[in-house]
Structure 1
Amino acid sequence: MTATSTSSRIGGLTTALPFALSLGVIPLSVVAAIYGGWLILLLPILAWHLSSIMDFALGQQNDNPDAETPQAQLFWYKAITLVWPPLQMISIFGVLGYVISTGHLNRWEQWGLFAVLGISSGTIGVNYAHELMHQQSKLERWFADALLASVLYAHFRSEHLLVHHRHVGTPADPVTARYGESFYRFFPRVLIQSLISSFNAEKSMLARKGLPWHHASNPFWRYLTLQAGFVLLAALIGGWWGVFLFSVQAFWAVFQLELVNYVEHYGLTRKHLGDGKYENVQPHHSWNATQRASNWLLLNLQRHSDHHYKPNRRFPLLQTYDEETAPQLPYGYPLMIMLALLPSPWRKVMHPRVRTWRKLHYPEIKDWTPYKRARNPVPK
Structure 2
Amino acid sequence: MTSYTLDHPTLGHIEYRDRKRYLWLSSLFMPLFPMLGIGLFFVTGSQWALAVPLVFSYGVIPFLDYALGSDTNNPPEEIVPQLEEDRYYRVLTWLTVPMHFIVLIAIAWFVGTQSLTVWSVLALAITAGSYSGLGINTAHELGHKKPLFERVLARIVLAVPAYGHFCIEHNRGHHKDVATPEDPASSRMGESIYAFALREIPGAFRRGWAVERERLARLGLPVWSPRNEILQSYALSAVLQGALIVAFGWIMLPFLLVHNIWAWFQLTSANYIEHYGLLRQKEANGRYERCQPHHSWNANYIFSNIVLFHLERHSDHHANPTRRYQSLRNFDDIPELPNGYYGMYLLAYVPWLWYRVMDRRLLALPHIRGDLSKVNIAPDKREAILARHGQVAGVTA
Partner of 2:253 in structure 1? 243
* Contact 1:12–1:74, Cα closer than 8 Å, also in 2: no
Within the candidate set 36, 43, 49, 1:28 is matched to 36
Highest relative contact order (Cα 8 Å, sep 6+), 1 or 2? Answer: 1
Within the candidate set 171, 196, 221, 2:181 is matched to 171
User: What are the equivalent positions in structure 2 for 1:171-210 lying under 5 Å apart?
Assistant: 171-210=181-220
1:107 matched to 2:113: no
User: What are the equivalent positions in structure 2 for 1:1-380 lying under 5 Å apart?
Assistant: 9-10=17-18, 14=22, 16-20=24-28, 22-23=30-31, 25-31=33-39, 34=42, 35=45, 37-67=47-77, 68-70=80-82, 74-101=86-113, 103-122=114-133, 124-273=134-283, 276-322=286-332, 324=333, 326-357=334-365, 360-361=366-367, 367=373, 372-373=378-379
1-side partners of 2:20 and 2:369: how far apart?
A: 45
Higher alpha-carbon Rg:
2
Q: How many residues align?
A: 363
Scaled by the length of structure 1, the TM-score of the pair is 0.87
Scaled by the length of structure 2, the TM-score of the pair is 0.84
Query: C-alpha displacement at 1:66, in angstroms?
Result: 3.3
1-side partners of 2:52 and 2:371: how far apart?
A: 47
- Cα–Cα, structure 1 residues 241 and 33, in superposed 2: closer, same or farther, change >3 Å? farther
Output the amino acid matched with 1:343.
P
More displaced stretch, 204-213 vs 127-136: 204-213
What percent of counterpart residues are identical?
Answer: 33
More displaced stretch, 186-195 vs 23-32: 23-32
- Cα–Cα, structure 1 residues 369 and 94, in superposed 2: closer, same or farther, change >3 Å? closer
Partner of 2:389 in structure 1? none
- Cα–Cα, structure 1 residues 276 and 222, in superposed 2: closer, same or farther, change >3 Å? farther
2-side partners of 1:305 and 1:120: how far apart?
A: 24
Question: What secondary structure does 2:75 align onto?
Answer: coil
Question: What secondary structure does 1:63 align onto?
Answer: coil
More displaced stretch, 235-244 vs 14-23: 14-23
1-side partners of 2:356 and 2:306: how far apart?
A: 28
2-side partners of 1:196 and 1:36: how far apart?
A: 43
2-side partners of 1:184 and 1:365: how far apart?
A: 26
More displaced stretch, 220-229 vs 185-194: 220-229
Question: What secondary structure does 2:155 align onto?
Answer: helix
Partner of 1:378 in structure 2? none
Question: What secondary structure does 2:164 align onto?
Answer: coil
Question: What secondary structure does 1:127 align onto?
Answer: helix
More displaced stretch, 33-42 vs 229-238: 33-42
Query: C-alpha displacement at 1:138, in angstroms?
Result: 3.0
Query: C-alpha displacement at 1:134, in angstroms?
Result: 1.4
- Cα–Cα, structure 1 residues 257 and 8, in superposed 2: closer, same or farther, change >3 Å? farther
For residues 206-251 of structure 1, what are the alpha-carbon distances to aligned partners after superposition, in whole Å with 9 as ceiling and x for unaligned? Answer: 3334443334322232133122112211211122322321222111
For residues 88-130 of structure 1, what are the alpha-carbon distances to aligned partners after superposition, in whole Å with 9 as ceiling and x for unaligned? Answer: 21111122123313x33233312221211111111x2221121
2-side partners of 1:296 and 1:196: how far apart?
A: 32
Unaligned runs of 5+ in 2: 1-13, 381-397
1-side partners of 2:349 and 2:157: how far apart?
A: 25
- Cα–Cα, structure 1 residues 149 and 16, in superposed 2: closer, same or farther, change >3 Å? closer
1-side partners of 2:220 and 2:354: how far apart?
A: 47
2-side partners of 1:190 and 1:136: how far apart?
A: 27
* Contact 2:144–2:322, Cα closer than 8 Å, also in 1: yes
Question: What secondary structure does 2:180 align onto?
Answer: coil
- Cα–Cα, structure 1 residues 240 and 313, in superposed 2: closer, same or farther, change >3 Å? same
- Cα–Cα, structure 1 residues 19 and 111, in superposed 2: closer, same or farther, change >3 Å? closer
1-side partners of 2:104 and 2:324: how far apart?
A: 27
Query: C-alpha displacement at 1:36, in angstroms?
Result: 5.3
